[in-house]
């Protein structure tokens, strides 16, 4: 069913740099594509790729290089030339894993075992966050909008200081959350009076309208309500947005997803899943009461669920999904005509990256297409039945069981056939891995390449290698 196109407002593409940060040259190609696809803003989550300095230099990544100040500025200049606004996202309460993982900052955690949540009672923590923001704002000349995160503040209220605070009358975890964010928002407004502050909404979803009205947060921040599911509940989402609006938070944002929200370890995205999410958001926008308007939508592309989780889909394989999601917002539907517009623009045969087909075009509208093709090919091979169920093969279970291996008592004729099959698979895999590694290195740093291989390839190749080694050892005991 067709809906009205997305109402006026910003269409931000979320650039999650806490995993697989692109090389600068590729980053510029991506920004150009985002502009051509109709985006007019970038929500940039730097985390440890930002060039923090002085006492914050320890926050910089050590596994891969952080962007230099010059590179951060050049990204902004390039984006500006494409009429794209940059909005930095800096986590300030929850999901501060990249900060609180450092031993010297352990004392700022709400509880020792939760690496992501800041203790809201320590002034040192607020000073740390404000210094992070100062450095980010300084390196973004003319910045008008800042996203302060504040989602998924796990274990809040469980620290010793929080328990003492909560023991006093009329205090709740909700009020504890609001007091910290309000304190921070006020400090930001004091330092940069013109600054628009956006924050994630999820910690406020369970709060009553009265609690929100009574808080001093109203008028200081603009909530961004996120939901990435293809079956987003329109009625509940509308009621949440209208609750915030009635509480005085009249400037509201939405957040959808084009990748990084299916599963923590997903390798190749499903375009239809993400398009369905956007169709539901269109229904939300169409169902809002008169007077409730949205400032815009952030189309998120998570690269990790959090700083310490594995990589989600790499950017190249998700570009058909992003193009499809933006097209859906512009048209209010994703019929065959809309799909054709996407495939024409990207020079592909299908909006599903698994079906795009091989291309001989060197200069494609689709930056990173070759890597996307190779990723799909390798992922298909890694998940093929021949490999996934290799150890369930009749000949392995019948003639090369754990007992046979321990006793080194095998039938060489059969086990050498198994060895030959495993070796053939390993050779094919290695050839594809070598080709993909070379292509990945053009777009990403060595650390990203190595991490991706360790996540997706090594767990598959290691058992095959082990079998070939064990067969050789056993056959040696049976053949003169």
- Which residues are identified as catalytic? 152
Cβ-in-10-Å burial (0-12, 13-18, 19+) of 356 comes to: buried
C-alpha span between 335 and 328 (Å, rounded): 9
Q: Is the pLDDT of residue 361 over 60?
A: no
C-alpha span between 19 and 330 (Å, rounded): 29
Q: What six digits make up the tokens of 367? A: 């930056």
DSSP-assigned letters across all residues of 241-304: HHHHHHTT---EEEEEEEES-S-TT--S--HHHHHHHHHHHHHHHHHSPTT--EEEEEEEE-S-
User: In the prediction, which pLDDT does 363 show?
Assistant: 47
Is residue 379 a contact partner of residue 267, using CB atoms and an 8 Å limit?
Answer: yes
**pLDDT tens per residue, range 34-79:** 999 999 999 999 999 999 999 999 999 999 999 999 999 999 999 9
Q: What six digits make up the tokens of 276? A: 């369905």
Among the residue ranges 222-226, 306-310, 353-357, 451-455, the one predicted with the least confidence is 353-357
3-state class (DSSP) for residue 11: strand
Q: What six digits make up the tokens of 57? A: 């230099």
Question: Other C-beta atoms within 10 Å of 55: how many?
Answer: 10
86 CA to centre of own chain: 17
DSSP structure class, residue 48: G
> Is 140 or 476 the better-scoring residue by pLDDT?
140
**pLDDT tens per residue, range 323-333:** 999 999 999 99
User: In the prediction, which pLDDT does 263 show?
Assistant: 94
Q: Is the pLDDT of residue 197 over 70?
A: yes
C-alpha span between 266 and 171 (Å, rounded): 41
**pLDDT tens per residue, range 60-69:** 999 999 999 9
* Mean pLDDT of the 401-408 span: 91
Q: Which of 401, 404, 393 is nearest to 478 (CA)?
A: 404
Q: Which of 257, 245, 424 is nearest to 325 (CA)?
A: 257
- Rama region for 364: left / alpha / beta (φ>0; ψ in -120 to 50; rest): beta
């Amino acid at each position: 069913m067709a809906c009205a196109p997305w109402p006026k407002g910003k269409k931000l593409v979320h650039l999650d740099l806490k995993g697989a940060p692109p090389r600068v040259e590729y980053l510029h190609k991506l920004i150009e594509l985002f502009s051509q696809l109709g985006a007019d803003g970038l929500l940039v989550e730097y985390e440890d790729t930002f060039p923090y300095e002085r006492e914050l230099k320890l926050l910089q990544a050590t596994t891969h290089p952080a962007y230099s100040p010059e590179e951060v500025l050049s990204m902004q200049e390039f984006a500006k030339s494409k009429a794209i606004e940059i909005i930095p996202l800096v986590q300030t309460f929850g999901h501060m894993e990249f900060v609180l993982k450092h031993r010297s900052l352990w004392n700022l955690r709400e509880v020792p075992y939760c690496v992501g949540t800041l203790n809201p009672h320590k002034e040192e923590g607020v000073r740390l966050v404000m210094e992070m923001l100062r450095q980010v704002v300084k390196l973004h000349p003319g910045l008008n909008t800042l996203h302060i995160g504040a989602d998924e503040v796990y274990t809040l209220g469980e620290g010793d200081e929080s328990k003492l605070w909560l023991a006093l009358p009329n205090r709740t975890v909700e009020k504890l959350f609001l007091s910290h964010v309000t304190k921070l928002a006020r400090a930001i407004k004091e330092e940069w009076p013109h600054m628009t502050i956006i924050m994630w909404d999820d910690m406020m979803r369970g709060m009553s309208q009265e609690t929100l009205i009574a808080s001093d947060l109203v008028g200081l921040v603009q909530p961004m309500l996120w939901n990435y599911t293809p079956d987003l509940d329109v009625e509940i989402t509308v009621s949440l947005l209208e609750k915030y609006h009635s509480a005085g938070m009249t400037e509201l944002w939405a957040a959808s997803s084009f990748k990084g929200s299916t599963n923590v370890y997903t390798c190749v995205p499903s375009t239809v899943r993400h398009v369905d999410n956007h169709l539901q958001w269109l229904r939300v926008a169409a169902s809002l009461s008169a007077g409730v308007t949205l400032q815009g939508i952030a189309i998120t592309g998570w690269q990790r669920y959090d700083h310490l989780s594995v990589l989600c889909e790499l950017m190249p394989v998700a570009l058909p999904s992003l193009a499809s999601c933006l097209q859906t917002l512009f048209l209010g539907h994703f019929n065959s005509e809309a799909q054709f517009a996407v495939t024409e623009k990207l020079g592909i045969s299908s909006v599903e990256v698994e079906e795009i087909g091989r291309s001989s075009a060197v200069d494609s509208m689709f930056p990173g297409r070759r890597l996307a093709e190779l990723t799909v090919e390798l992922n298909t091979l890694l998940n093929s039945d021949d490999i996934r169920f290799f150890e369930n093969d009749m000949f392995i279970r019948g003639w090369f069981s754990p007992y046979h291996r321990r006793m080194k008592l095998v039938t060489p004729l059969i086990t050498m056939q198994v060895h030959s099959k495993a070796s053939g698979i390993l050779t094919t895999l290695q050839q594809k891995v070598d080709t993909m590694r070379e292509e990945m290195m053009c777009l990403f740093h060595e650390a990203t390449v190595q991490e991706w291989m360790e996540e997706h390839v090594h767990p598959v190749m290691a058992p095959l290698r082990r079998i070939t080694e064990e067969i050789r050892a056993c056959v040696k005991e049976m053949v003169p």
